[in-house]
Amino acid sequence: MRSQSEFVLAPHSLPDGPFLLALIGAAGSGKSRVARAFPADWRLELDIFRWRATGSPGDQTATPIASVVFRELLDARLTRKLPVLADSTNSELEVRAYLLRRARHWGMTTVAIVFRVPVEECLARQETRTKAKQVPPDAVTRQAAGVPTTDQLIDEGFEYAYYADELDLLGVLLRRAATADPDPLAEVRRTFGEDLAAVFAWHHEREHGFATGSFAVAGREITMRWMDDGDPYDHQWQARLDEACTDGCSGPLWVKVTGAADLQSVYRGGAPDEPWCDGCTSRSLG
């Protein structure tokens, strides 16, 4: 067995871009994980288009319409000389031939990454997926049978072809992640999820030394603050309540929230935890 150090871009490194990069392997062979090594805007994924058409990324009946969308976006990027990552099985010769024709038409370099994973392993991985993401076993078996070797891909016309385990794709992802701008909404995303993070904005001012922000949609909002006193166990979110302090203090009332369900409770007028006031020692509504 090869050691970890032997996997450092051996025997080849990816060529300079821009290029059309085709991932080739059966469903469950690990393509989507490798795709994340590259920028999200490169990625054209049939599963996503099937999901948008039917609500199920594994619904093979949606492949024809998904392919139409795929081809339109493929040409849109190639004509602008933008890199493309074709994230689908690409196990059929005619599909690969189409990719090669379009890349040649627009003068783009072609690269293939092949996933040599036993069909039994691909089928086993299907069992761990949600029902909507599962691909029928006969389709997986057919895809696996159609996966070519790198030599065959070169004969087909690809300028570069590699097996996935011959490339340091983790290193590619780490280099990209290390140079990316910090995500200012990382903590929001982690606690409340992607959809709520999309409607959150940090305020420029800090309140009592703490970062503040708000979730806002169409004129309605919930004011938040992020509490961090240096103790890793005390990092917490607090939401501001509409109720006034019962002691007559003018200070705002806050309550700890741990996720979207707590936030919904606050929005509906509840208090998922014991509230407290910044302006006095009162720690409850009544």
The confidence score (pLDDT) of residue 280 equals: 73
pLDDT at 72 over 90: yes
pLDDT at 283 over 70: no
pLDDT at 148 over 80: yes
The confidence score (pLDDT) of residue 110 equals: 97
The confidence score (pLDDT) of residue 3 equals: 40
pLDDT level of residue 143 (50, 70, 90 thresholds): very high
pLDDT level of residue 38 (50, 70, 90 thresholds): very high
- Residues 264 and 255 sit within 8 Å (Cβ to Cβ): no
Average pLDDT over residues 61-73: 92
Q: Which spans in the chain are helix H?
A: 31-35, 46-54, 63-78, 93-105, 119-127, 137-145, 150-156, 169-179, 186-192, 194-197, 260-267
pLDDT level of residue 114 (50, 70, 90 thresholds): very high
The confidence score (pLDDT) of residue 12 equals: 61
Calculate the average pLDDT of the chain.
Answer: 86
Average pLDDT over residues 184-197: 94
Single pTM value for the model: 0.74
pLDDT at 248 over 70: no
- Residues 239 and 223 sit within 8 Å (Cβ to Cβ): yes
pLDDT level of residue 135 (50, 70, 90 thresholds): confident
pLDDT at 128 over 90: no
